[in-house]
A and B are shown apart, each in its own frame.
Chain A
Amino acid sequence: MAKDWVIHAEDLMKVYQMGEVEVRALAGVSCNIKRGEVVAIMGPSGSGKSTLMNILGCLDLPTSGKYILDGEAVETLSDDQLADIRNRKVGFIFQSFNLLSRTTALANVELPLRYAGNVPNKKERARAALESVGLGDRISHRPTELSGGQQQRVAIARALVNDPAIIMADEPTGNLDSKVGKEILELLLALNRDNGTTLIIVTHDQAIAAQTQRIIHLRDGLVEEKK
Chain B
Amino acid sequence: MNIGQSIIEALETLNGNKLRSGLTILGIVIGVGAVIAMLAIGQGAQDTITSAISGIGTNLLFVSSGNDILNVRNPKPLTLGDAQAIADPFAAPDVLAVAPIIQGRSDVTAGGQTMSVSVTGTTPQYFIMQNYSLLEGDFLTQDNLQGNASAVVIGPGVADKLFGRRNGVVGETIRINGQPFRVVGILQSKGGGTFGSQDNQVIVPFTTAQTRLIHRSALNEVDQLYVQVVSAQAVPLATDEVKQILRQRHRTPVGIDDFSVFSQADFLSIATTVTGVFTIFLGGIAGISLLVGGIGIMNIMLVSVTERTREIGLRKALGARKRDILIQFLIESSMLSLIGGMIGILLGWFLGFIVGRVAAASGNPFNPAISLNAILLATLFSAAVGLFFGIYPANRAAGLEPVEALRYE
Footprint of B on A, CB under 8 Å?
Answer: 54, 57, 59-60, 79-80, 83-84, 86-88, 92, 94, 98, 100, 102-103, 111-112, 114-116, 158, 162
**A80 touching B402, Cβ below 8 Å:** no
Selected interface stretch from B149-157, B283-291, B310-318: B310-318
B326 CB to closest chain A CB (Å) equals 12
Known A59-B402, A98-B406: A83·B320 in contact at CB below 8 Å: yes
B11 CB to closest chain A CB (Å) equals 12
Closest to A111 in B: B318
Known A79-B321, A80-B321, A98-B310: A111·B315 in contact at CB below 8 Å: yes
Chain B 315-339 against A: per-residue CB contact (8 Å), 1 yes, 0 no? 1111111111000000000000000
B68 sits at the interface (CB 8 A): no
A contact residues around B319 at 8 Å (CB):
83-84, 86-88, 112, 115-116, 162
Known A59-B402, A60-B403, A87-B319: A115·B314 in contact at CB below 8 Å: no
| B side interface size, CB within 8 A | 23
Known A59-B317, A94-B406, A102-B13: A79·B322 in contact at CB below 8 Å: yes
Closest to B322 in A: A79
Rounded to whole angstroms, the CA-CA distance of A114 and B406 in the bound complex is 20
Chain B 291-322 against A: per-residue CB contact (8 Å), 1 yes, 0 no? 00000000000000000001100111111111
B contact residues around A94 at 8 Å (CB):
406
B361 sits at the interface (CB 8 A): no
B12 CB to closest chain A CB (Å) equals 7
Rounded to whole angstroms, the CA-CA distance of A198 and B233 in the bound complex is 92
B contact residues around A112 at 8 Å (CB):
318-319
B2 sits at the interface (CB 8 A): yes
B217 sits at the interface (CB 8 A): no
Rounded to whole angstroms, the CA-CA distance of A150 and B321 in the bound complex is 28
**B16 touching A92, Cβ below 8 Å:** no
B contact residues around A111 at 8 Å (CB):
315, 318
B contact residues around A102 at 8 Å (CB):
12-13, 16
A contact residues around B316 at 8 Å (CB):
59, 83, 86
Rounded to whole angstroms, the CA-CA distance of A57 and B317 in the bound complex is 9
**A86 touching B317, Cβ below 8 Å:** yes
Rounded to whole angstroms, the CA-CA distance of A111 and B5 in the bound complex is 11
B1 sits at the interface (CB 8 A): yes
29 contacts between A and B (CB under 8 A): A54-B403, A57-B317, A59-B316, A59-B317, A59-B402, A79-B321, A79-B322, A80-B321, A80-B322, A80-B323, A83-B319, A84-B319, A84-B321, A86-B318, A86-B402, A87-B319, A88-B319, A92-B317, A92-B318, A94-B406, A98-B314, A100-B314, A102-B13, A102-B16, A111-B315, A114-B2, A115-B318, A115-B319, A116-B319
Known A59-B317, A86-B318, A158-B318: A114·B402 in contact at CB below 8 Å: no
- 10 pairs of A and B residues whose beta carbons are closest in the complex: A87-B319, A115-B319, A83-B321, A60-B403, A112-B318, A59-B402, A98-B314, A80-B321, A86-B319, A102-B16
Counting chain A CB atoms within 10 Å of each CB, the highest count among B318, B324, B406 belongs to: B318
A contact residues around B5 at 8 Å (CB):
114
B contact residues around A114 at 8 Å (CB):
1-2, 5
A contact residues around B318 at 8 Å (CB):
86-87, 92, 111-112, 115, 158
Footprint of A on B, CB under 8 Å?
Answer: 1-2, 5, 12-13, 16, 310-311, 314-324, 401-403, 406
B contact residues around A79 at 8 Å (CB):
321-322
A contact residues around B322 at 8 Å (CB):
79-80, 83
Rounded to whole angstroms, the CA-CA distance of A83 and B315 in the bound complex is 10
B127 CB to closest chain A CB (Å) equals 76
B contact residues around A115 at 8 Å (CB):
1, 315, 318-321, 324
Rounded to whole angstroms, the CA-CA distance of A193 and B313 in the bound complex is 30
Rounded to whole angstroms, the CA-CA distance of A158 and B310 in the bound complex is 17
A108 CB to closest chain B CB (Å) equals 10
Rounded to whole angstroms, the CA-CA distance of A111 and B401 in the bound complex is 19
Rounded to whole angstroms, the CA-CA distance of A87 and B125 in the bound complex is 89
**Given contact pairs A84-B321, A115-B324, A116-B319, a sample of 15 additional A-B residue pairs in the complex whose CB atoms are under 8 Å apart:** A59-B403, A80-B321, A80-B323, A86-B317, A86-B318, A87-B318, A88-B319, A92-B317, A94-B406, A98-B310, A100-B314, A102-B13, A102-B16, A112-B319, A114-B5
Rounded to whole angstroms, the CA-CA distance of A36 and B398 in the bound complex is 34
Counting chain A CB atoms within 10 Å of each CB, the highest count among B2, B13, B16, B317 belongs to: B317
A contact residues around B12 at 8 Å (CB):
102-103
**B406 touching A59, Cβ below 8 Å:** yes
A154 CB to closest chain B CB (Å) equals 13
A86 CB to closest chain B CB (Å) equals 5
B396 CB to closest chain A CB (Å) equals 16
Counting chain B CB atoms within 10 Å of each CB, the highest count among A86, A88, A116 belongs to: A86
Rounded to whole angstroms, the CA-CA distance of A80 and B316 in the bound complex is 10
B contact residues around A86 at 8 Å (CB):
316-319, 402
A contact residues around B401 at 8 Å (CB):
60
Rounded to whole angstroms, the CA-CA distance of A116 and B2 in the bound complex is 11
B3 CB to closest chain A CB (Å) equals 12
Closest to B405 in A: A59
Rounded to whole angstroms, the CA-CA distance of A162 and B319 in the bound complex is 11
Rounded to whole angstroms, the CA-CA distance of A94 and B321 in the bound complex is 20
Rounded to whole angstroms, the CA-CA distance of A15 and B324 in the bound complex is 29
B contact residues around A80 at 8 Å (CB):
321-323
A223 CB to closest chain B CB (Å) equals 21
B383 CB to closest chain A CB (Å) equals 24
Rounded to whole angstroms, the CA-CA distance of A94 and B310 in the bound complex is 12
Rounded to whole angstroms, the CA-CA distance of A94 and B314 in the bound complex is 10
A contact residues around B402 at 8 Å (CB):
59-60, 86
